[in-house]
Amino acid sequence: MTTLPLLKDEELSPEAQAVFDEIRSLRNTDYVNNFWRALAHDPVQLRATWERLKVVMGPGSLDPLVKEMLYVAVSVANGCSYCIHSHTAAAKAKGMTPEMHAELLSVIGMASQTNAQVTALQVPVDEIFQAG
Amino acid sequence: MTTLPLLKDEELSPEAQAVFDEIRSLRNTDYVNNFWRALAHDPVQLRATWERLKVVMGPGSLDPLVKEMLYVAVSVANGCSYCIHSHTAAAKAKGMTPEMHAELLSVIGMASQTNAQVTALQVPVDEIFQAG
Amino acid sequence: MTTLPLLKDEELSPEAQAVFDEIRSLRNTDYVNNFWRALAHDPVQLRATWERLKVVMGPGSLDPLVKEMLYVAVSVANGCSYCIHSHTAAAKAKGMTPEMHAELLSVIGMASQTNAQVTALQVPVDEIFQAG
Amino acid sequence: MTTLPLLKDEELSPEAQAVFDEIRSLRNTDYVNNFWRALAHDPVQLRATWERLKVVMGPGSLDPLVKEMLYVAVSVANGCSYCIHSHTAAAKAKGMTPEMHAELLSVIGMASQTNAQVTALQVPVDEIFQAG
Amino acid sequence: MTTLPLLKDEELSPEAQAVFDEIRSLRNTDYVNNFWRALAHDPVQLRATWERLKVVMGPGSLDPLVKEMLYVAVSVANGCSYCIHSHTAAAKAKGMTPEMHAELLSVIGMASQTNAQVTALQVPVDEIFQAG
Amino acid sequence: MTTLPLLKDEELSPEAQAVFDEIRSLRNTDYVNNFWRALAHDPVQLRATWERLKVVMGPGSLDPLVKEMLYVAVSVANGCSYCIHSHTAAAKAKGMTPEMHAELLSVIGMASQTNAQVTALQVPVDEIFQAG
């Protein structure tokens, strides 16, 4: 039910094929998931998205597992089913335990509740929370 | 510009006062921020929110700093200014470095972008992402 | 800080003036709030919005106060500050007591929490909830 | 397609089983819907959600049917399909007539439209809408 | 899985039938899509929605194709699958090429990213962006 | 009220300075708006955002004005005040007339309304809207 057909390997442009090769190599698997197969209709957008994703989700001062959980949190708030599924799977693959998953859900639920309460009450920001 | 006046200490009901005492004690500060002063009109809701927040944000398998960053991520996606300010401040107080803050922003930006791309493309969930 | 200047009475087109006259008459007040003064740049959109609002918020099988509270609930979830302020004020004017306001906030907070939990868990709809 | 398997009765922890018993008893039905079966992986979160829901949706100054319609309104704005289905069904069970349902939809549609218009125009809040 | 059954032609009220006749005539096709069949339970809401849609999406200073792409952009940000599908199809029918579709997706993705970055940073509006 | 101080020219790193130079040169103005001054704390994110924005908003098959209006539409649905202001200003600078602005607002309002109606009704996608 995509709005553009998912591209099979044999339908890729050379530029898209090159990105798929990198995805396979970096992830050490032959499987390329549907997001990339839909995005491959536009090799420039595919390349830009992949390049940036590598940097953002790559090594840094935040743990890769933390980054996946942040990704899940944003995806839940934005209501993106595909993203919730794919990044929850990625978080599990990176070591998210059932206890961590349960806490992730609790924080997302709690934040969503207080976000709504604050918004309904239109609470003004305390001066002590302002950046210098 | 709240939709209910912020309550001063001397305007609190005894039930609300008891929650404020706990907030001050647990946080080791005399300062009680505006959210609680707006919520204090309903001591039952105040108590329920505070009790649950203590559990959710308290010790567990996720680091307290990670929980604050998750809270920021959800608050950004929900567009809650107050919550973004208060939980960014809390994250800094719990040790979020400028590098970590920058990575947090990058993940939020990246997730928001791919959430939108996936939604625009209506990508179906890959079977391998489904829970058993 | 509007993206279009708020129109003063003397700047209105005759078509916009006619809508303002109706607003004043129906609401029994000389005050016309900022939303209409911003929308007045496009008399067709102004007229269409006003006509439909009269029907939707007018007499029917739901109590006018209930309709205002529903309006607040949607506006909170959509993060529209102006709308939260104006419809909370309207609900108070139509008889919303502090107790009802507190319950409204509780339901909005609860729904936002479980919405997020359900979305994070990607719960499938039970067959018994499906319309025939 | 949940991100966690739905738990069957025989897979519940004693703490989760106790909550299920209360749900069955209070609702006077043997059926426990999928939300609780997904949430049951975390008995603490399950218990906290159920306890709060009972209070929020229980007797008060707002009619139970009004609370269900408010729940639907928030769920629509948050795009939670499961919640829209389950709370629309609950509202019907509590007496929502086709006429009331039609008006609920109209208010949700109208609010969503004017929320967007106000946001696009960035209309400043009128002084008369500010709480004292 | 609608929350109200889709109405067949023979189930329509005369008022709803009249709107369907206009839809068929204006669009020059016998096919009436599901949205109208769900909305037809409330002939007043059906009529109001159809009347306004005709004006908004009709001839004006913006190209009809541009209007369809704007509709897609809003629908993506609001996460409405049905609307994304129907208006993407309408945009294609009005001449949206694969290149235009790819650019539409790019702008939606980019805007969603910078929206989130700006919100996370809580950037104040520059004076030069304010309307006079 | 940013969560990070806006950087002045003399506080920029050389990498950030280089991006500012390009912004000034491409836009043919000395003015660099607040978004970039907040993002400049992370020169890598600044550079990546600027590079991608140039491509996405640059020449292509969609008119630059259309792209700005699409940006406004997404920003409204996401509730980003800053983005609404800056891209409405950019659209005006690129030739958006008052008539076009009014139509843009109408489409955004209409889409938001029908998005909500469709979501409330949970309308299934018609087969004819599915991509081949």
In angstroms, the separation between the Cα of residue A129 and the nearest Cα of chain F is: 9
Size of chain B, expressed as the number of residues it contains? 132
Long-range contacts, C125-130 (Cβ 8 Å, 24+): C125/D34, C125/D81, C125/D82, C125/D85, C125/D86, C125/E1, C126/D33, C126/D34, C126/D85, C126/D86, C128/D31, C128/D33, C128/D89, C129/D33, C129/D85, C129/D86, C129/D88, C129/D89, C130/D85, C130/E1
**Residue F101: predicted pLDDT:** 98
Most A CBs within 10 Å, among B51, B53, B70, to test the A interface: B70
- Assign domain E61-120 to its CATH architecture: Up-down Bundle (1.20)
Which H or E run includes B75?
helix B64-77
What is the chain F residue with the closest CA to E45?
A: F117
The answer to whether the CB of F16 falls within 8 A of the CB of F44 is: no
The answer to whether the CB of B41 falls within 8 A of the CB of B4 is: yes
C66 contacts: CB under 8 Å, gap ≥ 6: D66, D69
CA-to-CA separations, F39 to D93, F25, F49, F54, in angstroms, rounded: 51, 19, 9, 16
Q: Do C116 and B74 touch (CB under 8 A)?
A: yes
Coil/strand/helix, residue C73? helix
User: Tokens 């962006």 appear where?
Assistant: E129
Residue F93, chain E, CB below 8 Å: the answer is no
In angstroms, the separation between the Cα of residue D103 and the nearest Cα of chain F is: 11
- Each residue's pLDDT tens digit, F88-103: 999 999 999 999 999 9
A131 pLDDT more than 80: no
What is the chain E residue with the closest CA to B73?
A: E120
**Residue F1: predicted pLDDT:** 73
The answer to whether the CB of D52 falls within 8 A of the CB of A109 is: no
Fold of B1-57: AhpD-like (1.20.1290)
> Average pLDDT, whole number, for chain F?
97
Angle, helices B43-57 vs C98-121, to 10°: value is 30
How many beta-carbon contacts under 8 Å exist across C and F? 20
- Each residue's pLDDT tens digit, D25-79: 999 999 999 999 999 999 999 999 999 999 999 999 999 999 999 999 999 999 9
User: Tokens 């536009």 appear where?
Assistant: A42
**Residue A78: predicted pLDDT:** 98
How many beta-carbon contacts under 8 Å exist across B and E? 60
Rg of chain A (C-alpha set) = 19
**Residue C56: predicted pLDDT:** 98
Residue C45, chain F, CB below 8 Å: the answer is yes
Residue F48, chain A, CB below 8 Å: the answer is yes
E94 pLDDT more than 70: yes
- Assign domain C60-121 to its CATH architecture: Up-down Bundle (1.20)
Q: Do C113 and A110 touch (CB under 8 A)?
A: yes
- Each residue's pLDDT tens digit, C68-126: 999 999 999 999 999 999 999 999 999 999 999 999 999 999 999 999 999 999 999 99
Residue D79, chain E, CB below 8 Å: the answer is yes
- Each residue's pLDDT tens digit, A18-52: 999 999 999 999 999 999 999 999 999 999 999 99
Rg of chain B (C-alpha set) = 19
Domain with CATH 1.20.1290.10 in chain E: 1-58, 61-120
Q: Do B123 and A66 touch (CB under 8 A)?
A: no
Q: How far apart are CA B4 and CA B8, in angstroms?
A: 12
In angstroms, the separation between the Cα of residue F113 and the nearest Cα of chain E is: 9
**Residue B115: predicted pLDDT:** 98
| Contact list, F42 vs chain B (CB under 8 Å) | 102, 105-106
Residue A102, chain C, CB below 8 Å: the answer is no
> Average pLDDT, whole number, for chain A?
96
Domain with CATH 1.20.1290.10 in chain C: 1-58, 60-121
What is the amino acid identity at position A126? D
Residue B89, chain E, CB below 8 Å: the answer is no
What is the amino acid identity at position E113? Q
Query: What count of other Cβ atoms lies within 10 Å of the Cβ of residue D15?
Result: 13
Taking residues F9-19, report their average pLDDT: 98
The percentage of chain A sitting over the pLDDT mark of 70, rounded to a whole number, equals 98
pLDDT (tens digit, 0 to 9) for every residue of chain B, 132 residues total? 799 999 999 999 999 999 999 999 999 999 999 999 999 999 999 999 999 999 999 999 999 999 999 999 999 999 999 999 999 999 999 999 999 999 999 999 999 999 999 999 999 999 999 865
Sign of the CA dihedral with A8 first, then A10, A13, and A19 last = positive
**Residue C54: predicted pLDDT:** 97
Taking residues F70-83, report their average pLDDT: 98
- Subunit partners of chain E (3 or more CB pairs within 8 A): A, B, C, D, F
User: Tokens 């043919």 appear where?
Assistant: F28
As a dihedral over the C-alpha atoms of residue A92, residue A98, residue A103, residue A108, rounded to 10 degrees, the angle is 50
C33 pLDDT more than 80: yes
User: Tokens 């939707």 appear where?
Assistant: C56
What is the chain F residue with the closest CA to E122?
A: F2
Residue C130 confidence class, pLDDT cut points 50, 70, 90: confident
Domain with CATH 1.20.1290.10 in chain F: 1-58, 61-122
- Each residue's pLDDT tens digit, E7-65: 999 999 999 999 999 999 999 999 999 999 999 999 999 999 999 999 999 999 999 99
Superfamily covering domain A1-58:
AhpD-like (1.20.1290.10)
Q: Give the start-end residues of each E strand in E12-127.
A: none
Size of chain C, expressed as the number of residues it contains? 132
Q: Do E132 and C44 touch (CB under 8 A)?
A: no
- Each residue's pLDDT tens digit, E63-72: 999 999 999 9
Size of chain E, expressed as the number of residues it contains? 132
Minimum mean pLDDT range among A50-54, C128-132, D82-86, F19-23: C128-132
* Best CA proximity match to F113, nearest among E53, E89, E54: E53
CATH class of B60-122: mainly alpha
Taking residues C45-58, report their average pLDDT: 98
The answer to whether the CB of F20 falls within 8 A of the CB of F12 is: yes
Residue D94, chain A, CB below 8 Å: the answer is no
**Residue C42: predicted pLDDT:** 98
- Subunit partners of chain A (3 or more CB pairs within 8 A): B, C, D, E, F
E51 contacts: CB under 8 Å, gap ≥ 6: none
As a dihedral over the C-alpha atoms of residue C113, residue C115, residue C120, residue C124, rounded to 10 degrees, the angle is 140
Query: What count of other Cβ atoms lies within 10 Å of the Cβ of residue E13?
Result: 14
**Residue B14: predicted pLDDT:** 98
In angstroms, the separation between the Cα of residue D15 and the nearest Cα of chain E is: 33
The percentage of chain F sitting over the pLDDT mark of 90, rounded to a whole number, equals 96
Domain with CATH 1.20.1290.10 in chain B: 1-57, 60-122
F111 contacts: CB under 8 Å, gap ≥ 6: D116, E70, E71, E74, E75, E78, E83, E87, F73
| Contact list, A88 vs chain D (CB under 8 Å) | 3
Residue F5, chain A, CB below 8 Å: the answer is yes
Domain with CATH 1.20.1290.10 in chain D: 1-58, 60-122
Using alpha carbons only, what angle is made at residue B118 by residues B65 and D76, rounded to the nearest 5 degrees? 80
What is the amino acid identity at position C120? A
**Residue E130: predicted pLDDT:** 84
C132 pLDDT more than 70: no
Q: Do D98 and E41 touch (CB under 8 A)?
A: yes
* Best CA proximity match to D108, nearest among D131, D132, D87, D130: D87
Dig out the tokens for F64 from the structure.
């630059």
Superfamily covering domain F61-122:
AhpD-like (1.20.1290.10)
**Residue A1: predicted pLDDT:** 72
Residue B50, chain C, CB below 8 Å: the answer is no
In angstroms, the separation between the Cα of residue C121 and the nearest Cα of chain D is: 5
Using alpha carbons only, what angle is made at residue E34 by residues D94 and E67, rounded to the nearest 5 degrees? 115
**Residue A34: predicted pLDDT:** 98
- What are the DSSP calls for D24-40, one per residue? HHHHTSS---HHHHHHT
**Residue B111: predicted pLDDT:** 98
